[in-house]
Structure 1
Amino acid sequence: MSAPSVLIAGCGDVGGRLAEQMLAKGWQVYGLRRTIANLPAGVIGVAGDLFNEDCPETWPVGAVDYLVYCAAATDHDEAGYRAAYVQGLRNVLGWLDDYGQVPERLLFVSSSSVYEQQDGGWVDETSAAKASAYSGRVMLEAEQVALGSGIPASVVRLTGIYGPGREWLLTQVRRGYRVAVDPPLYGNRIHADDAAGLLAFLLNADQQGVVLDDCYIGVDDAPAPLAEVVAWLREYLGVTEWAEDASVRRTGSKRCSNARARALGWAPHYPSYREGYGAILAGKA
Structure 2
Amino acid sequence: MPAPSVLIAGCGDIGSRLAGQLQAHEWTVYGLRRDTSLLPAGVIPVKGDLFDWLEPEGWPTGTIDYLVYCATPTQRDEWGYRRAYVDGLAQVLIWMKQHQQRPRRIVFVSSSGVYGQQHGEWIDETSATEPGSFSGNVMLEAERVALNSGFPATVVRLTGIYGPGRNDLSNRVRQGQSVQIDPPVYANRIHADDAAGLLAFLLLADARGVALDDCYLGVDDDPAALGDVVAWMREYLGVTEWSDEVGVRRAGSKRCSNARARALGWVPRYPDYRAGYAALLG
Please state which band the TM-score falls in when normalised by the shorter chain.
over 0.9
4+ runs deviating over 3 angstroms: none
Deviation, 1:57, is 2.4
Tell me, which stretches of 5 or more residues in structure 2 are unaligned? Answer: none
Q: Which residue of 2 aligns with 1:192?
A: 192
Between the aligned partners of 2:183 and 2:57, the Cα distance in structure 1 is: 54
- Aligned-residue sequence identity (percent) comes to 67
TM-score (norm 2): 0.99
1:210 has 2:206 as partner: no
Between the aligned partners of 1:167 and 1:249, the Cα distance in structure 2 is: 15
> Which residue identity is paired with 1:54?
L
Answer with 164-173 or 241-250: which moved more.
Answer: 241-250
Check conservation: 2:108, 2:154, Cα contact below 8 A. Answer: yes
Between the aligned partners of 1:116 and 1:53, the Cα distance in structure 2 is: 33
RMSD: 0.7
> Which residue identity is paired with 2:252?
G
> Which residue identity is paired with 2:281?
L
Q: Which residue of 2 aligns with 1:156?
A: 156
What number of residue pairs does the alignment pair up?
282
> Which residue identity is paired with 2:202?
L
Between the aligned partners of 1:127 and 1:138, the Cα distance in structure 2 is: 18
Deviation, 1:248, is 5.9
Q: Which residue of 1 aligns with 2:3?
A: 3
Between the aligned partners of 1:246 and 1:180, the Cα distance in structure 2 is: 6
SS of corresponding position for 1:224: coil
Check conservation: 2:185, 2:250, Cα contact below 8 A. Answer: no
Q: Which residue of 1 aligns with 2:273?
A: 273
Q: Which residue of 2 aligns with 1:120?
A: 120
Question: Which residues of 2 match residues 96-175 of structure 1 at below 5 A?
Answer: 96-175=96-175
Tell me, which stretches of 5 or more residues in structure 1 are unaligned? Answer: none
Q: Which residue of 2 aligns with 1:231?
A: 231
Between the aligned partners of 2:276 and 2:90, the Cα distance in structure 1 is: 35
> Which residue identity is paired with 1:122?
W
> Which residue identity is paired with 1:123?
I
Q: Which residue of 1 aligns with 2:179?
A: 179
1:27 has 2:27 as partner: yes
Deviation, 1:171, is 0.6
Between the aligned partners of 2:40 and 2:243, the Cα distance in structure 1 is: 41
> Which residue identity is paired with 2:220?
D
Q: Which residue of 2 aligns with 1:87?
A: 87
> Which residue identity is paired with 2:3?
A
Deviation, 1:132, is 2.5
> Which residue identity is paired with 1:75?
Q
> Which residue identity is paired with 1:189?
R
TM-score (norm 1): 0.98
Deviation, 1:249, is 1.9
Between the aligned partners of 1:134 and 1:250, the Cα distance in structure 2 is: 16
Q: Which residue of 2 aligns with 1:44?
A: 44
Q: Which residue of 2 aligns with 1:74?
A: 74
- Deviation readout 1:221-273 (Å, 9 max, x if unpaired): 00000010000000000011111212362421100000000000001000000
- Deviation readout 1:141-174 (Å, 9 max, x if unpaired): 0000000000100000000000000111011101
Q: Which residue of 2 aligns with 1:222?
A: 222
Between the aligned partners of 2:24 and 2:212, the Cα distance in structure 1 is: 23
Between the aligned partners of 1:248 and 1:238, the Cα distance in structure 2 is: 18
Deviation, 1:30, is 0.3
SS of corresponding position for 2:7: strand
Between the aligned partners of 2:85 and 2:249, the Cα distance in structure 1 is: 25
- Deviation readout 1:178-222 (Å, 9 max, x if unpaired): 011110000000000000000000000000001100000000000
Check conservation: 2:178, 2:248, Cα contact below 8 A. Answer: no
Deviation, 1:55, is 0.9
